[in-house]
Every structure is written in C-alpha cells, then in structure tokens.
Amino acid sequence: MYNLILFGPPGSGKGTQASLLVDKYDFLHISTGDMFREELSRNTPLGQEARSYMDAGHLVPDEVTIAMLRKRVDQHPDVTGIIFDGFPRTDPQAAELNELMQGRSSQINALILLDVDADTIVERILGRGATSGRADDLKEDVIRTRYENFVNYTSPVFDFYQNLGLAHRVDGTLTPEEVSREIDSIIGREMPAGQ
Ligand code: AP5
C-alpha cells in the first residue's frame, strides 16, 4: 500500500494533481473539502455544521473532520493506496492519521507540499470563483483568511512529516504537467517494488 498526502495552501493544485494521480495509479482519493461539499449539497446536519466555517474560510473543528475521515477510510479496507487531499490540516489531525494508518498495519509514505505564494493563490481562486460554485472562492478577504489559516494552523504539519523524513516540496507555480512530473518522480523513488 502507498499512502500520499497532497499538501499545500488553498488553490495550490491539490485537487488537480490528485485527479492526475488517480488516473495513473488507481489510488483512492479522499478530499475532506469535497466530502464536506457533498454533505452540504445533500443538506445533511454535518453539511450544515461545516457550512459556517467553510463560508468564512475557517477550518471545520477537528473532532468533526476526524470522525468523517475515519469513517471514509474504514469503508475502504482493501485499496492499493490512498491520496489524502486537504487532510491532515492540524497537528491533532496528523496524530490521528498516524494512528489510523497503524491500525491498518500501514503508514504514510510521503507528504508533498505544493508551494505557491499568496498572491498567485488569490489570483487563481478568484479566477475560478464564478464557475466553481463555492462561496469561499468569491471574496478576496475569505481567500486570504483561508491562506492565513494554512500558514498558522496547517503549515506546522509539514514539520511533523519532515521530522519523519517523509516531506517533499514541489514548486506549485510550475505548469500542472510539470508539477505532475515532479510528483511522479517522488513516487517513483518512494514506491515499494511491485506496486
Ligand atoms: P478544500 O476543498 O480542501 O479547499 P482548499 O484547500 O482551500 O483547496 P482548493 O480546493 O481551493 O484548491 P486545491 O489546492 O485543490 O487546488 P485546485 O487543484 O482546485 O477545503 C475547503 C474548506 O473545507 C476549508 O477551507 C475548510 O473550511 C474545510 N476543510 C477541508 N478539509 C478540512 C480539514 N482537514 N480540517 C478542517 N477543515 C477542512 O486548483 C485551484 C485552481 O488553480 C484551479 O482553477 C486549477 O485549475 C488551477 N491550477 C491548479 N494547478 C495549477 C498550476 N500548476 N498552474 C496554474 N493553475 C493551476
């Protein structure tokens, strides 16, 4: 099993790269943002709870996010690999993921940071705002709040994986194809033989 975390600020290209990876490697893609939006579209209590945080650009509380993630992972005991997109976003989420992987006699093999500056992010997200259907893509102040939350709460998670020797950094301002090639080369070096 090969488990990868795609990591980076909002709009850094996590979803774009996850789709390319799923095509190539047949991994399960778990995006906590997509899961919340799915709950929202079905108007579930979980979706309603998440909405106020998401619309303001804040993180949904850990206990809610972790319970949802754990359930999704448990639904897929036999996959060849998982791409985590947008999780973990806090130190408690990283600790929980570690425990979850141990419970599956597995581990996180790599975390890849897609490194993109704040101004590029604002430009990208405002550019897709009209068509994404996401309330959190429409206003620059909300996008900047999402970025600040990344810097304040999420970026320390990089250090957690760096201390384990699992963290990699890729220039996320390259073209999607170039970013994809960089990711492929990291996976190629890391993937256990036979997968
Ligand atoms: P989430 O859905 O995870 O959003 P995000 O992290 O803000 O990331 P995005 O989906 O906006 O961007 P992305 O990095 O996937 O980039 P994309 O490929 O789309 O989270 C939303 C909210 O849910 C959070 O704010 C929070 O409230 C909540 N949430 C989710 N997970 C949570 C958690 N674990 N804990 C607590 N709360 C949580 O690309 C962006 C744009 O750029 C696209 O238009 C794309 O075409 C373009 N693009 C992509 N790559 C390139 C490139 N290389 N060059 C040029 N353009 C590019």
Q: Is the pTM of this model over 0.90?
A: yes
| Cα 8 to middle of ligand 1, angstroms | 8
Query: Amino acid identity of 148?
Result: E
pLDDT at residue 3 is higher than 70? yes
Task: Specify the residue with its C-alpha closest to ligand 1, atom 27.
Answer: 54
Answer yes or no: are the C-beta atoms of 18 and 25 closer than 8 Å.
Answer: no
Ordered by start, the domain boundaries in the chain are: 2-190
Task: Specify the residue with its C-alpha closest to ligand 1, atom 2.
Answer: 33
Query: Amino acid identity of 16?
Result: T
84 Cβ partners below 8 Å, 6+ apart? 3, 4, 5, 6, 30, 97, 108
Please give the pLDDT value at position 4. Answer: 98
Q: How far apart are CA 195 and CA 182, in angstroms?
A: 19
pLDDT tens for residues 100-156? Answer: 999 999 999 999 999 999 999 999 999 999 899 999 999 999 999 999 999 999 999
pLDDT tens for residues 19-32? Answer: 999 999 989 999 99
Please give the pLDDT value at position 189. Answer: 86
Looking at residues 68-86, what average pLDDT do you find? Answer: 96
Homologous superfamily (CATH) of 2-190 is P-loop containing nucleotide triphosphate hydrolases (3.40.50.300)
Please give the pLDDT value at position 190. Answer: 73
Q: How far apart are CA 52 and CA 54, in angstroms?
A: 6
What is the average pLDDT value for the chain, to the nearest integer?
95
The question of whether 24 is a catalytic residue gets the answer no
The question of whether 134 is a catalytic residue gets the answer yes
Atom of ligand 1 minimally distant from the CA of 54? 27
For residue 34, give the H/E element and its range: helix 32-41
Please give the pLDDT value at position 173. Answer: 98
Q: Which of 134, 139, 144, 169 is catalytic?
A: 134
Three-class secondary structure of residue 161 per DSSP:
helix
pLDDT at residue 194 is higher than 90? no
